[in-house]
Amino acid sequence: MKILDVARCLGGRLLNKEGFRWQSKEEEYNIWLFRNSDKEFWQSLEGKMIFERLYILTQLGFAREDSKILREDTENHIFNSEFICIVVKEKTIVAYAAFKLWTWQGKSILYLSGIMVHPSYQGKGISSSLLRKIADYFGANFLTTRTQSPVMYESVKAACEEIWPSMTNKGCPSIFREIGEFVAKSKLNMQRYCANQMTEERTYGMYLYGVEPVSLNPDLEKWFKEKVNPQNGDSMIIVGSLKSSDQRLEAKLYSRLKKH
């Protein structure tokens, strides 16, 4: 999983030239964000080298062996995404995420196409921290994704102010339901999507994971399985609201004042 210099390979495609630095309690990571506008890049030697490392990470994340279906699915998610984030610790790629940025009725929607974290680095808060960093960078109003995994639900929930579908609350606010329908039908072509449940049966036609991702929260695990049957290929659209730019600025100022 090692790569000599991610920043050098990505070159002028980098949006954050110095990289975001994220410090956990024990470890420090760099997050490299780049615009995926040059499709020919993936045909270059460096592009192929990066993709192979991301593909290996995908195999580890899904606990699945190399296959034509998995490779094509990984290519689709990476090559067709608008932005790619790569998380590096020392010179090792430990996670990556692929995003698209959409606009709905004047609101900025950050869609997470896919995210993978190396098994050795899971449980360290990398997913939720990465999502918050990227949402903050783009000033997005909402974060959304499609998933079969209760663990992914937890990561999105940790990055957002409010999330739907909700395990505890009833009566989804109309804006969340409408954004979910916009993403599912207008962007992802989910013809069997149920707007009230924010789910679709047989989306994938298969279970994506070789080893089932299990939430440590038994109540969430039970609720999620009642909503989605992953063995049937079902999926859920998740929509979460993010702090406004004013709220983020206020939080930063408050944090600085507390230090003094």
Angle between helices 150-159 and 126-138 (to 10 degrees): 50
Q: Please write the tens of the pLDDT for every residue from 69-92.
A: 899 999 998 999 999 999 988 878
| pLDDT confidence bin for 212, thresholds 50/70/90 | confident
Q: Which two tokens stand for residue 17?
A: 């030239």
The pLDDT assigned to 173 comes to 95
Q: Tokens standing for 133?
A: 């960093």
Cβ neighbours of 144 (radius 10 Å):
27
Structure tokens at 98: 């692929």
pLDDT above 80 for 177? yes
Answer whether 0.95 is exceeded by the pTM.
Answer: no
Residue 14 has what DSSP assignment? B
Which residue did the predictor score with more confidence, 149 or 258?
Answer: 149
Q: What is the pLDDT of residues 215-246, one digit of tens each?
A: 889 999 999 999 999 889 999 999 999 975 45
Instruction: Check residue 35 and give its pLDDT.
Output: 86
Q: Is the dihedral of CA 206, 208, 211, 217 positive or negative?
A: negative
Question: pLDDT by residue (tens digit) across 102-148?
Answer: 999 999 999 999 999 999 998 888 899 899 989 988 999 999 999 99
One CATH from 3.40.630, 2.60.40, 3.30.70, 3.40.50 for 1-141: 3.40.630
Write out pLDDT tens, residues 7-29. 556 655 666 655 667 766 667 88
62, 239, 38, 53: which is closest to 135 by C-alpha? 239
CATH 3.40.630 residue ranges in the chain? 1-141
What percentage of residues in the chain have a pLDDT greater than 90? 53
CA angle at 177 for the pair 175 and 181, rounded to the nearest 5°:
115
If you average pLDDT over residues 199-211, what whole number do you get?
Answer: 88
